[in-house]
Amino acid sequence: MKVKSPLEIYKLLPQTNCGECGFDTCMSFAAHVLDRTAKIEDCKPLVEKAKKDKKAAEKLKKLKEMTAPEIDEVIIGKDLKIGGEEVLHRHELTFFNPTALFFDVSDTMDEKTIDERCSRVVEYRKFYVGRYLTLDGIAVRCVSNDPEVFVRVAKKVAGYGKPMILVSLNPKCLERALKDVKEYNPLIYAANEENYKEVLKIAKKYDVPAVVRSKDLDMLKSLAATFKSHGVKTVIDPVTEPFGKGLQKTFERVVQIRRTAIMMQDKDINCPIMITPISAWMAKSDDVSKMYWETVIAALFIVKYADVMILHSLEPHSIMPIVTLRANIYTDPRTPVQVEPGLRAINNPDRSSPVMITTNFALTYYTVESDLQSSGAKGWLLVLDTGGLGVEVSVAGGQFTPDKVKKLMEETKVAEKVDHRYLIIPGLAARLQGALEDETGWKILVGPTDSGRLKAWLEQNWPPKKEVKS
């Protein structure tokens, strides 16, 4: 996005503050367009006027160009978006579309193996900081080089409902599969200097996105420019070399591509980037080493600009670090990850169960909740709105205060749920003990600094005795 200030967008809007976009003012709408929570097309008066008025049409066109992301956005399947990035480093703004993870099946696998692999991709879910991390799609590799075998497996995989990549350098195999699965909008892989004319015709005919592939950056740029000039949504693959100097060269190519696209605004190469960690399986070594290097390559390029990947290993120890890293890299650094404040019932508490409090920083909340759930401890957990900050930071910064705690207790009516008047606060909030007692009228007990020790602490200190250890 070339525009840096909402004022640049506002100047080209109708400036009537009609509210049809869902925002009170045109300036507010412009600010939301800038952070990509609204689209220019949401300005209905401008869109309607552009159909009749040439000047309005020019304004609309200019606004679309100004607000388009630096890297093209490509959709695979119904709604899987890749690319669409604005910056080289996430702290400059944020990264928007997480690296799409595709896992392969080959058309030479038996049906049982194909079903097992597809099912594992579809069913994978890892709970992490309040959400489930999942896998994105399935890459169907044409190892047989037989169009009829390939289409049979492609149709089978399509039935699992995940986005697909059709992998073959044989245009006949790609076209045969597309005749039956075009409606699923698969990404086709790949066009190179030998087959690009045929693959281009196929991509245009079936209106699907395509990958162009070459180690030579000049050739890669030429292929991308050719496909884009024909209106084909294009992904570029600079060829992933998995080891040693080859891996270093791959890294250098990827960084050069993305810097050229964003810093030099080169429209010929501003495409999403494909990386293939599956290439680690070409090594003549044991499977553990192959899985290790596949994971290393995936991690490296999740951090550095990969928009879509093809992988092989579906073992938990391979997938978990990749999906966790991806979740962390693609979390908006401008906004703390937080949960809804309020009152949570843990393990079916009763009127004699303890009342505890934590903050709504997601990592803090889910750590505390998990520790309580796994220990079997019953309790009422108050979740204080600290703007997504942890306990120590919010106490120091004034977001965790006695008056806010009192207000939360009143709003949740926690006093009506228990027969006692004891509140357990985190050890990191110990300095608020006296002020909290004065404000709330409850007896404040200082718990451990680590929620992992809550079970032992409760066993020793609950129900309260006259003297309570902190």
Q: Whole domain around residue 126: which residue ranges?
A: 73-329
Say if residue 356's pLDDT is above 60.
yes
In a domain, 309, yes or no: yes
* Rounded Cα gap, residues 365 and 390, in angstroms: 9
pLDDT of residue 283: 82
| Predicted pLDDT at 172 | 98
CATH code: domain of residue 231: 3.20.20.20
**Do 45 and 78 have their domain in common?**
no
pLDDT at 227: 98
Q: Which two tokens stand for residue 344?
A: 């949570």
Kindly tell me if the per-residue pLDDT of 2 is higher than 80: no
Residue 334 lies in a domain: no
Q: Are residues 305 and 175 part of one domain? A: yes
Quick: pLDDT tens for 55-85: 999 999 999 888 889 999 999 999 999 999 9
Give yes or no: residues 61 and 84 share one domain: no
Residues 190, 263: one domain?
A: yes
Same domain, 268 and 155: yes
Does residue 91 share a domain with residue 52? no
Predicted local distance difference test score (pLDDT) of residue 51: 92
305 plus 248 within the same structural domain = yes
pLDDT tens string 286-303: 999 999 999 999 999 999
The number of domains in the chain is 3
pLDDT band for position 122 (cuts 50, 70, 90)? very high
17 lies in some domain: yes
398-443 pLDDT tens trace? 999 999 999 999 999 999 999 999 999 999 999 999 999 999 999 9
Residue 354 covered by a domain: yes
Pair (257, 306) in one structural domain: yes
Domain-ending residue, one of 67, 94, 110: 67
Q: When comparing pLDDT for 163 and 333, which is higher?
A: 163
Residue 333 has what pLDDT? 82
Does residue 101 sit within a domain? Answer: yes
Residue 163: the pLDDT is 98
Please provide the average confidence, as pLDDT, over all residues in the chain.
94
Residue 336 falls within a domain, yes or no? no
The predicted-structure confidence for 261-320, as pLDDT tens digits, reads as follows 999 889 999 999 999 999 999 887 899 999 999 999 999 999 999 999 999 999 999 999
pLDDT band at 466 (very low <50, low <70, confident <90, very high): low
Shared-domain flag, residues 119 and 218 = yes
Is 237 in the same domain as 289? yes
**CATH number of the domain within which 10 lies:** 1.10.15.40
What pLDDT is attached to residue 470? 42
> Residue 337: inside a domain, yes or no?
no
pTM, rounded to two decimals? 0.85
Q: Per-residue pLDDT for 256 more than 70?
A: yes
pLDDT of 1: 64
286 and 404 share a domain? no
Q: Of 329, 356, 389, which closes a domain?
A: 329
Best mean pLDDT range from 40-54, 103-117, 331-345 = 103-117
Which of 267, 298, 329 delimits the end of a domain?
329
User: Is 91 within a domain?
Assistant: yes
Mean pLDDT computed over 47-56: 91
pLDDT, tens digit (0-9, with 9 covering 90-100), for 203-229: 999 999 999 999 999 999 999 999 999
Q: Note the pLDDT tens digit of each residue in 392-401.
A: 999 999 999 9
* Per-residue pLDDT, 468: 44
373 and 270 in a single domain? The answer is: no
CATH number, residue 455: 3.40.50.11600
